[in-house]
Structure 1
């Protein structure tokens, strides 16, 4: 569904709780035949939707932690790649090997090997060909490009730096951590997406969602006490905002 703040969902749930509080005051006069409108079921539904909302908030926190950890792990990849190329340049590596390493570094930096041709000013000129973005900066791609760069270093016999963070074994461990961080973000995203779906269905499904049930409660109270009754006026102003479930 469209992005919304959690405040809107929480407000619907809080207003449902207020609605129940008035229903309780009506005592035995509130006696609907529809099962979903009975007081015990309203109370159970309130607890369920509160639980769903809390689940989303908890999973959002876990997702944000995973995203922040991934960001920290990838933060220095560009500078590290440049250091690796510079370190390789001080070895006996062939020009082709150095060129391969620089190619992976360009991809990590998001740069092109050559400039993109400009758009012709002459309408009759041959159109500029469509190009694929050179900014291959997704986390998956950065991991892939760094892995390619490390493979170049590993296959160069003269590459044997004394700096621990530039050594192949350290780099492979870093790549494994990067993969794990990226996978954790994907796992947490799936979890939060599923939790949001459960929340949204519980709140907004047509006829069975909390918002629809709240309207049914209002309609029942109006039918029992009358549209101009003090009882109906108590609850008629309690607002519920419906949203689409996608």
Structure 2
């Protein structure tokens, strides 16, 4: 995850770029660069582009945080719901052959290991997987898969017809659909943020044409105008820029 200091650095670079623009404006007619992208007008345009993408990144970060929290909350609640449904299955028919298999999937959903596997497909997954693979299999995608299989197992018990809507087969299927939705929301939010961060980094740090490169060129131009030891260059250098 991106550090707070790194994020602060991005904002400081953009803020300092605006400060450098103001300084260039203070030079008035003396500031006449031959490069079109170094004119005051173009510098302001670039600043506006940079602030826009920074705002988009900030919004995307909030959206991702909310999506992750929503997913985490629903998945944690689903673990409890799965246990409730499994216990109800045992109450309905203590002799049901589905109980053992249901417990197997409950353990996987909760991230606990059981000594037996319930199906040939699961056995193959276990024996063929690398040793480094976690036995818990508690990733969000895995929980969705195991919850789906749990529902299928519960549905095989003819007597399973609880009065509590949320743990009926239909209710569990509705929860499964919701799990998929919130998981997809989080995945999409993460992908969107990743894309925007890439765009931001290009705008701020692209070699030769990014915001920080442009700032260096402006300072070099001021150095040419006034000299390496001039007060003008010292004033321009007050606006520092960090690398990515």
Normalised TM-score (structure 1): 0.88
List runs of 5+ in structure 2 lacking aligned partners: 117-129
Is residue 2:65 matched to residue 1:64? yes
Q: Deviations over 1:154-174 (max 9, x none)?
A: 121111112222111111111
| Equivalent residue number for residue 46 of structure 1 | 47
Q: Which runs of 5+ in 1 are unaligned?
A: 116-128
SS at match of 1:76: helix
Greater helix fraction, Structure 1 or Structure 2: 2
Pair 61,131 (structure 1): closer, same or farther in 2 beyond 3 Å: closer
Alignment partner, residue 179 of structure 2: 178
CA deviation digits over 1:191-242, x for unaligned, max 9? 1111111111100111111001101100100001111112111112321001
CA distance in 1, matches of 2:189, 2:105: 30
Q: Is 2:32 the partner of 1:31?
A: yes
Q: Which secondary structure state, in structure 2, belongs to the residue aligned with residue 75 of structure 1?
A: helix
Q: Residue 143 of structure 1 aligns with which residue?
A: 144
The residue number in structure 1 matching 2:233 is 232
Residue 93 of structure 1, CA deviation: 6.4
Counterparts of 1:18 and 1:132, CA distance in 2: 52
* Alpha-carbon distance, 1:131 to partner: 5.5
| Aligned alpha-carbon RMSD (Å) | 1.7
Which residue pairs with 2:15 in the alignment? 14
1:188 and 2:167 matched:
no
> Is 1:3 aligned to residue 2 of structure 2?
yes
Distance change (3 Å), C-alpha of 1:171 and 1:56: same
State the distance in 2 between where 1:23 and 1:173 align.
61
Q: How many equivalent residue pairs?
A: 229
Aligned to 2:207: 206
| Paired residues of 2:90 and 2:96 also in contact (CA < 8 A) | no
Superposed counterparts of 1:33-182, under 5 Å: 33-92=34-93, 94-114=95-115, 130=131, 132-182=133-183
Q: Is the 8 A contact 1:207 1:213 kept in 2?
A: yes
Shift in CA distance, 136/223, structure 1 to aligned 2, threshold 3 Å? same
How many angstroms does 1:132 deviate by?
A: 3.1
Residue 95 of structure 1: CA displacement?
Answer: 4.8
